[in-house]
Amino acid sequence: MKADIRNNVRSGRSGTVTNNRVMGSDATVRLIRDRLAAVPPKRLLVVTDFDGTISEIVDDPGHAHLLPDAGDAIRRLVALVLRVAVISGRSDQFLRSQIPFEGVMLLGNYGQAGLAEEDRLRLDRFNEKARDQIRARAGVWLEAKPASSSIHFRSRPRAGPSLERLLTPLAERLGLAVRLGRMVLEVMPEQADKGHALKRLVAQLRPEGVTFAGDDTGDRAAFEVTSALTVPHLAIGVASPEVDASTFAACDLVVDGPQAAAGFLSSLADWAEHRETASRPRESPA
């Protein structure tokens, strides 16, 4: 049964928001144990977003960094599960600077292997025209990425709807998709989608269990892909005051912020270590 989060009650402590209450760490451990009971850890695929999930959202995207607790959990999981992967709109280079661990699949640019020349030209045209249109708007700026563009307005938190109305016609004329996220308007080729990237990853690795964690509207498709899998799975939403609860409708549980998401990954590593230890043959007494 999916978590009922239509009337989320937020809490100052870390935990899982489900059924209108905060689920403590013990309950989270039981959920992991129950949902993944049939999954050998070495057949589990663990996938996460970066910004707002294992990193706090900051005013300057260039200053974002991996939470230490999330990094510790990822290091542990790499040795315990089938694969750990990060799917993000960030560039591969940025992700490598933050997650320099052997064994982690870093799928930047929404998992796109490369950008077609035509798509690059479309983004370049969008960037040129969009910069002209937002030039007079204080606190609004465009970040050009290798395979997408982000129009940031964190210092103007109410500017989102008007920016969306202003720039969506331009993007659509160029055949680009627009997504309103956490104080950011994302513009990208239509095929740039975390749900598509997760589908490809599952087809490639054929895991017997999957977890996916994300925090924003751009993760909704991946939540839905995870929820529809026939193998055991957990879709984990990372809540914030900036995202409507409906974004997490397909999630199995919702945790309260990135620090709690790191706690979930740590609990997942604990579960995997316990399963690995329990599966080892016991030595006969001398």
pTM score, whole prediction: 0.87
Residue 6 lies in a domain: no
- The confidence score (pLDDT) of residue 27 equals 80
Neighbours of 208 (CB within 10 A): 16
Q: Residue 24: its pLDDT value, please?
A: 53
Inside any domain, residue 75: yes
What is the mean pLDDT, run by run of 10 residues, along the chain of 286 residues?
A: 38 39 67 96 98 94 95 98 96 94 94 87 97 95 93 94 96 96 94 94 98 96 98 96 94 94 96 86 61
Q: What's the token pair of residue 244?
A: 């409507």
* Token code pair at residue 111: 């998992």
Q: What is the CATH number of the domain that holds 42?
A: 3.40.50.1000
Predicted local distance difference test score (pLDDT) of residue 286: 53
CA 263 vs CA 70, 74, 89, 116, 280: distances in Å = 7, 11, 23, 38, 26
| Structural domain that includes position 152 | 117-189
CATH number of the domain bearing residue 131: 3.30.70.1020
85/126 same-domain check = no
Q: What is the DSSP letter of 137?
A: S
Q: How far apart are CA 286 and CA 283, in angstroms?
A: 9
pLDDT for 8 equals: 36
